[in-house]
A and B are shown apart, each in its own frame.
Chain A
Amino acid sequence: MNQPKEKEHNKRYFEKDQKNTEDSSKGKNEKVQVFNIKITPNLIKANKFKNKDTVNTIRPKRNKKFEGKAPIDPEKLEVHSRGEGVGKGVRHPLHAEKLRKRERKYNYAQEQAARAEILLTEGQGGVEVEEGGKTTAISQKIIAENVDITAASKIFELNLAFGPYQAKYSRNGRHLLLGSKKGHLAAFDWFTKKLHLEINVMESIHDISWLHTETMVAAAQKEWLYMYDNTGTEIHCIKKMDKILRMEFLPYHFLLAAVNEFGFMTWLDISVGEIVGHYNNRLGRTAVMAQNPYNATLCIGNSKGVVSLWSPTVKDPLAKILCHKTPLTALAVDNRGMYMATSGVDRSMKIWDIRHLDGPIQDYRLRSAPVDLEFSQKDMLAVGLNEVVEIYNNCCTKTTEKPYLRHRMAKTINNFKFCPYEDVLGIGTSSGFTSIIVPGSGEPNFDALESNPFQNKKQRKEAEVKALLDKIPAELITLNPLDITEVDVPSMQEQMEAKKKLLYLKPKKMDFTPRHKKKGKTNIARKKIIKEVARKDFIEQTKEAKKLLNLSEEQKAKKPSFGVLDRFVPTVKTKKQ
């Protein structure tokens, strides 16, 4: 008898609760719809978030003073990326771990480089005009009036008597070398106008070049190639290089490349005084030459309108591009080795994608054949037309309409060079040298370890030693400078085949697929272009089709109008395709 009572007494708390809840739920059941919800961790998370909003909880203030490093823009990070890292291919645990650590360091370097961009404080200059105004209308005089004195002092003119002058700036942009057809050779610091040397070699000078430092210059004279130090003392006469028409100095390889009247090309290693490459290019006499700073190949344009690329170790051209149907007049390659500008006698000027050997990207027709072409560090293109220099801004990626600046002179142009790290264009003319300001042409931020305009003597010596230590062998001059980072797979396969034939030797297993490289965005860009073109075509087609349709529709039916009550007429939605 007692048992049931006891049971009641002993009823556990949850039993009672259950009953209560059941009762309450019964009461609610009539109105409340019950959903069968499976509780998942995600749901709980979501509810947590909701609860936070609803419940008045005072969020603890972040009293962290230092919240860690600032986040980096992923796009900037991507710029400094070195490509895909080592995957999980290495099975040896110790080496795999070491490689992982190394990867981490590479990532750190990348991140650090992205962070260091904050130190590039200088911005690119430019010319701003009122609406409707033209930048070509701004002459050097106006510029000189509007800039500070130091900048204005960069506009100057040297009237020299010894015929058409060649001008070249040193690699850091501080020094200027002038050589005239009539033998006048002069080198000076053009900032301070301090003269280093001034001599007359008493022979015609065809081309001039700075060597690795400003203490040495080379002059291609009537017969031989001569070298002078900064006091004007002749230090070398290289008789192996004769009758030179054009010269280029390849700073990282310490090579002086030259082409002579008979089409012989010579590469002289100035650090050891050896001729690295010497052969005839069989193109005939040509004075159109430029170096590609990206891979140190020489681009030579000939009278048949073909530009060929040369390296010292291969006696055939690495590549040939038929640029014009007429003889070439000038040739220039931009600093990054992306674009090449060529001009022919046919008064046309074309831009090529020299990195991928493709093009032409742009095709311009001018009103006279250019004498010289030159790219600035910021990819401005100077075009010399007899007495006028026109500077085009942004003419490679898209088609320009008109020049950015125009400078007219009273004398014919012989050659011109943009001054590195300065917004200056130096023009060698028939009667001297003219320096003009081209706003935004130069690289505003210089890397002092690379080339320092404000270098002192000690730094120069230090840089010379370092540059010599970092000298790149001439054999590495190829179309793709990153060839060296690749494994020579064919010869490796040969070796492995030979090893396989040996007895008692376990053959190595090897995956020969080379690393997938990022070859720039051009492929993507090309695809984009294709798509864009297709899209435009499609749009045009649709427009045409719509026109047709509209006509028919208009003919077909006009909706009856109800005046103000039109708004209540239901609109029939047409399906979009």
Chain B
Amino acid sequence: MEDIEESEYVAADHDLLVSAVSKLDKTQHITEPTRNESTNIGSEFNLLKRTNRLNLNSVAKILGDTAHHVQISKKLKKTQDKSKVLSKPLEKPQAERIKRSTGYEATKKKVGRWDPVVARSRTVDYVSFPLKSASSKLEPTGDFLTKLTLKSDLEKQLDEVDPPPFIEEEVEEEPVFPMTYEEMVEHRKHIAKMRAQQSYKAAKAKRQSKIKSKKYHRVLKKEKLKQQLKEFEELQKTDPEEALKKLESLEKARALERHTLRHKNTGKWAKNKLIRAKYDKEVRQQLAEQLAVSRGLTKKVQDNESSDDEADDGAIPDMTLSQDPMNPWMMQRPDKSNVNTEFDFGYKKFVQNKIGKKDDSDTDSNDENVDDEPSNGISVLKDSINRLTRIDDSSDDTTEAVEQETITVRDSVKPSQSLTSKPQRKTVVTQKSLKRAKSSEGKSKKIKPIATTNWEVVEVEPVKVSTLNVSEDITEVFEKHEDSIAQKVENKLKQIRRNIEMLEKAARSNKRDTKKIEDRKEKSNLEYLELKKKNVKPIIDEELIETSSKTVQDDDKDDQSLSKILNTAQAPSEPSAGSSTSNIDPNRFIQAKPKFLNTALSQGDNQYDQLDDDDEQVVPKVNIEEVFEEDDVVASFRQEKEDEINKDKPEEINLALPGWGSWGGKGIKPQRRKRNRFINKPAPVMPRRDENKGDIIIKEHKNPKLGVHKVKDVPFPFESVKDYEASIRAPLGNTFIPEKAHKKLIRPSVITKAGKIIEPMDEDELLLPKNKRFRNEAIIKLLGQKK
């Protein structure tokens, strides 16, 4: 009993210990209630979420190690092991669907391997079957010869009696591998390639992540931005709604930035705005406003600076610690919400600073620091100068300066651990040092907005309002620009004046006698390009001369040209039976001059024969044409041509009904408006082939019998007549092209060898280099789709 009691006692202690330990865990604070007395009423506080299931393990444990119970405990344990409840099987159709889909995927992949093979065999000029050509290996000579040896009868009989020992060739069974050698090589290659690619990519990522160069990142960012812009523009073209959404999202993303006045048009916000600015007037205005504000700000800064330099050195404003947004230490403090500080810069910060300054000057005038101010001021000035010289490191400098004077508070930054109850240190910062630091910061801030926040600063333009002589520079630049513009304007003016002078001179010279010559020259220069053209069209294309001083001569010239135009315009309307001849300029070109040849004469009339070998041209006295002058062949031929032309011309159709809506009858002319309205004018005809060819008539009729032989439809892959005509342009026959080319062109697309069994393709085909090399993705995709 004692033992039991003791053990109970110990157990109680143990429970305590356990509970103490479990308290450390903090997850279960409420202990399981123990029932001391039997009651009917269960306390509501004792209700615990506890499963009613019996823990078989503990039962088995209780059974202990006794030999008798071992079996039972084992059985128990076993039952528990297998007591996992199987999930309910899926509905049959559902399961089948899944099975089908997975099966489809697998089969698709399997069949898809053949795509390049199929695509290649579709595109190649010809396919010859059987695919596997018989091996060209020769038999060993011995084997070949044995077939040829003849055996004598005696030998045959001997062989029957005593058959020669049959040498069994040991056929070495090749071990069956899951993959063929080629497959294996392929597989290994593939894996190696993958690995290489992976490692390459990893290395690249690592390298890129390590790059600290600001320039690099800037470039990267710019690229990204450009990409974004491009995408957006594309999106705008394809899907304007989507683009609008994206625009909105962009807007949202930069909504916070919208309030700030940072970096003119170099910041992200401004850049994002710039995208919008193309399409939104308001945004443009906003940008302009922003720029204006920033300009104003910078100006003020300069003013302040100058004033500071002069007198205000001493009056360094003090700010309370809590309000200081620029203190990096304050910003890094985890317990303080950073939301405010994050946006306390730029314009807002400037305003804040201003307010702070005022406050400081009001409230802290009696502070003890005031005494130290002169020395402080000097140091601050030095600091600021330093900062000016080393713009990039300015923020670091300030932090360093602060570091020297402040007690480090790094420890406080560290997150306190729950298990280790270390005494938390509180930051002790001397008011004085911080103030000093603050003032210096503030000053520097005034001079130049330095990137001390999380925002990325993008320096795009070299224009920095940092140095003291910036204003001078700017004025210089402006002056230069103005100068250059003025010069340009002057140059232009000079040129114009010169032109005017030239024109005037020309006019004067025209007054003299040179005008005619010039005109002639111009004509000759212009008109030599004319073809032997009979339908002269008016040329109204005149040079435009922009001068106020238009001389009389010029007017004359104009008149001439006008009259010329009129003449040409009227010419075609005139009846041109006879005039057509006058229009032909025989001296234009190609009009072959008659060449008199000293041909031989027959024996009968031998009078000229002495001249036979002379080089002179003998022009006969009587022109035989004159004999035939009477029958006017030429005129009749031209008349014929005229008729031919007129025959083909479609006539106007007059749809006007005389007397409809107006008076009709003899002597009444229909209204002009009506006439124009009811006359159907034919479409303009194509120029005839013989239009400018002189005494040649080319009939332009369609040959219906030829049409039977012509192609009336362009077959499938072609979408233009031109392409189709190009595809049938070349002859294939061996009478037209060399035999070799002919054979090549008429080779059938499928060649089969007679008497050979054509086996279906096996998977070795997949590994052939010619199939692997086929990489015309478009065709593969196309043929793959059909399945």
Interface residues of A (CB under 8 A from B): 82-87, 89-99, 101-102, 105-106, 108-109, 112-113, 115-116, 134, 136, 304-306, 311, 313-314, 316-322, 325-326, 345-348, 350, 357-368, 383, 385-388, 390, 399-403, 406, 408, 447, 449-450, 470, 473, 475-476, 478-479, 483-492, 495, 509-516, 526, 529-530, 533-534, 537-538, 541
**Segment 615-644 of B: residues with Cβ below 8 Å from A:** 615, 618, 620, 623-625, 628, 631, 633-634, 636-637, 640
User: A322 vs B584: C-alpha distance in the bound complex, in angstroms?
Assistant: 15
Would you call B693 and A325 a contact (CB within 8 A)?
no
Enumerate the 4 nearest inter-chain pairs by beta-carbon distance, A residue then B residue, closest first. Answer: A511-B720, A109-B741, A95-B717, A93-B778
User: A97 vs B528: C-alpha distance in the bound complex, in angstroms?
Assistant: 49
Would you call A357 and B698 a contact (CB within 8 A)?
yes
Q: Is B453 at the interface (CB under 8 A from chain A)?
A: no
Of A101, A116, A478, the contact of B703 (CB 8 Å cutoff): A478
- The closest CB in chain A to the CB of B631 belongs to A304
Stretch of B14-22, B172-180, B707-715 at the chain-chain interface: B707-715
Write 12 A-B pairs (CB below 8 A) sorted by A numbering: A82-B729, A89-B723, A93-B782, A97-B779, A311-B703, A314-B701, A318-B698, A319-B696, A347-B620, A473-B709, A495-B713, A514-B721
Known: A109-B730, A476-B709, A489-B721. 17 other contacts (CB 8 A): A82-B729, A86-B726, A94-B783, A109-B742, A113-B738, A318-B699, A321-B695, A345-B628, A358-B696, A365-B620, A399-B595, A484-B709, A485-B725, A490-B702, A511-B720, A513-B721, A515-B721
Q: Is B666 at the interface (CB under 8 A from chain A)?
A: no
User: A90 vs B719: C-alpha distance in the bound complex, in angstroms?
Assistant: 7
- The closest CB in chain A to the CB of B747 belongs to A105
Min CB–CB distance B552 → chain A (angstroms): 28
Min CB–CB distance A326 → chain B (angstroms): 5
Would you call A360 and B712 a contact (CB within 8 A)?
no
Q: Is B105 at the interface (CB under 8 A from chain A)?
A: no
- The closest CB in chain A to the CB of B637 belongs to A322
Would you call B620 and A516 a contact (CB within 8 A)?
no
Of A83, A313, A363, the contact of B594 (CB 8 Å cutoff): A363
- Chain B residue numbers with a CB within 8 Å of A83 are 726, 729
Would you call B524 and A387 a contact (CB within 8 A)?
no
Min CB–CB distance B706 → chain A (angstroms): 5
Q: Is B237 at the interface (CB under 8 A from chain A)?
A: no
Min CB–CB distance B66 → chain A (angstroms): 77
User: A388 vs B637: C-alpha distance in the bound complex, in angstroms?
Assistant: 34
Of B636, B698, B719, B778, the contact of A89 (CB 8 Å cutoff): B719
Would you call A368 and B723 a contact (CB within 8 A)?
no
- The closest CB in chain A to the CB of B742 belongs to A109
User: A350 vs B593: C-alpha distance in the bound complex, in angstroms?
Assistant: 11
- Chain B residue numbers with a CB within 8 Å of A510 are 714, 719-721
Would you call A313 and B618 a contact (CB within 8 A)?
no
Of B601, B633, B702, B738, the contact of A385 (CB 8 Å cutoff): B601
- Chain B residue numbers with a CB within 8 Å of A99 are 717, 727
Would you call A385 and B602 a contact (CB within 8 A)?
yes
User: A495 vs B737: C-alpha distance in the bound complex, in angstroms?
Assistant: 36
Of B595, B706, B716, B720, the contact of A476 (CB 8 Å cutoff): B706
Would you call A322 and B123 a contact (CB within 8 A)?
no
Q: Is B464 at the interface (CB under 8 A from chain A)?
A: no
- The closest CB in chain B to the CB of A482 belongs to B729
- The closest CB in chain A to the CB of B593 belongs to A363
User: A383 vs B737: C-alpha distance in the bound complex, in angstroms?
Assistant: 36
Would you call B122 and A94 a contact (CB within 8 A)?
yes
Would you call A475 and B706 a contact (CB within 8 A)?
yes
Would you call B712 and A105 a contact (CB within 8 A)?
no
- The closest CB in chain A to the CB of B530 belongs to A530
Q: A346 with B624: in contact, given A368-B599, A515-B721 (CB under 8 Å)?
A: yes
Min CB–CB distance A316 → chain B (angstroms): 6
- Chain B residue numbers with a CB within 8 Å of A486 are 710, 725
Q: Is B590 at the interface (CB under 8 A from chain A)?
A: yes
Would you call B599 and A366 a contact (CB within 8 A)?
yes
- The closest CB in chain B to the CB of A360 belongs to B592
- The closest CB in chain B to the CB of A392 belongs to B597
Min CB–CB distance A310 → chain B (angstroms): 11
- The closest CB in chain B to the CB of A447 belongs to B735
- Chain B residue numbers with a CB within 8 Å of A98 are 123
Q: Is B307 at the interface (CB under 8 A from chain A)?
A: no
User: A103 vs B422: C-alpha distance in the bound complex, in angstroms?
Assistant: 86
- Chain A residue numbers with a CB within 8 Å of B637 are 304, 306, 320, 322
- Chain A residue numbers with a CB within 8 Å of B778 are 93
Would you call B608 and A364 a contact (CB within 8 A)?
no
User: A447 vs B696: C-alpha distance in the bound complex, in angstroms?
Assistant: 36
Min CB–CB distance A493 → chain B (angstroms): 10
Of A92, A390, A514, the contact of B599 (CB 8 Å cutoff): A390
Q: A319 with B698: in contact, given A385-B601, A402-B598 (CB under 8 Å)?
A: yes
- Chain A residue numbers with a CB within 8 Å of B712 are 487-488, 491-492, 495
Of A108, A311, A400, A487, the contact of B741 (CB 8 Å cutoff): A108
Of B693, B713, B721, the contact of A358 (CB 8 Å cutoff): B693
**Segment 512-529 of B: residues with Cβ below 8 Å from A:** 521, 524, 528-529
Would you call B701 and A87 a contact (CB within 8 A)?
no
Min CB–CB distance A24 → chain B (angstroms): 29
> By CB atoms of chain B within 10 A, which of A346, A367, A509 has the most?
A367
Would you call B589 and A530 a contact (CB within 8 A)?
yes
Of A86, A387, A470, A487, the contact of B710 (CB 8 Å cutoff): A487
User: A313 vs B740: C-alpha distance in the bound complex, in angstroms?
Assistant: 38
Would you call A304 and B699 a contact (CB within 8 A)?
no
Would you call B707 and A320 a contact (CB within 8 A)?
no
- The closest CB in chain B to the CB of A368 belongs to B601
Of A109, A314, A320, the contact of B737 (CB 8 Å cutoff): A109
Q: A367 with B599: in contact, given A89-B723, A319-B699 (CB under 8 Å)?
A: yes
Would you call A325 and B634 a contact (CB within 8 A)?
yes
Q: Is B613 at the interface (CB under 8 A from chain A)?
A: yes
User: A529 vs B713: C-alpha distance in the bound complex, in angstroms?
Assistant: 41
User: A115 vs B706: C-alpha distance in the bound complex, in angstroms?
Assistant: 36
User: A84 vs B726: C-alpha distance in the bound complex, in angstroms?
Assistant: 7
Would you call A90 and B717 a contact (CB within 8 A)?
yes
Min CB–CB distance B532 → chain A (angstroms): 10
Min CB–CB distance A131 → chain B (angstroms): 15
Of A87, A96, A306, A511, the contact of B721 (CB 8 Å cutoff): A511
User: A403 vs B742: C-alpha distance in the bound complex, in angstroms?
Assistant: 43
Min CB–CB distance B639 → chain A (angstroms): 12
Would you call B725 and A487 a contact (CB within 8 A)?
yes
Would you call A89 and B740 a contact (CB within 8 A)?
no
- Chain B residue numbers with a CB within 8 Å of A490 are 702
Would you call B524 and A367 a contact (CB within 8 A)?
no
Q: A97 with B601: in contact, given A401-B615, A529-B590, A533-B589 (CB under 8 Å)?
A: no
Q: A113 with B524: in contact, given A363-B595, A515-B725 (CB under 8 Å)?
A: no
Q: Is B583 at the interface (CB under 8 A from chain A)?
A: no
Q: Is B734 at the interface (CB under 8 A from chain A)?
A: yes
Of B620, B631, B689, the contact of A367 (CB 8 Å cutoff): B620
Would you call B711 and A488 a contact (CB within 8 A)?
yes
> By CB atoms of chain A within 10 A, which of B531, B592, B690 has the most?
B592
User: A134 vs B521: C-alpha distance in the bound complex, in angstroms?
Assistant: 45
User: A83 vs B723: C-alpha distance in the bound complex, in angstroms?
Assistant: 12
Of A360, A366, A485, A514, the contact of B597 (CB 8 Å cutoff): A366
Would you call A383 and B125 a contact (CB within 8 A)?
no
- Chain B residue numbers with a CB within 8 Å of A476 are 706, 709
Q: Is B391 at the interface (CB under 8 A from chain A)?
A: no
Q: Is B467 at the interface (CB under 8 A from chain A)?
A: no
- The closest CB in chain B to the CB of A514 belongs to B721
Of A316, A390, A511, the contact of B600 (CB 8 Å cutoff): A390
- Chain A residue numbers with a CB within 8 Å of B521 are 541
User: A97 vs B783: C-alpha distance in the bound complex, in angstroms?
Assistant: 13
> By CB atoms of chain A within 10 A, which of B528, B726, B745 has the most?
B726
Q: Is B744 at the interface (CB under 8 A from chain A)?
A: yes
Min CB–CB distance A88 → chain B (angstroms): 9
Would you call B528 and A533 a contact (CB within 8 A)?
yes
Would you call A450 and B597 a contact (CB within 8 A)?
no
Would you call B709 and A513 a contact (CB within 8 A)?
no
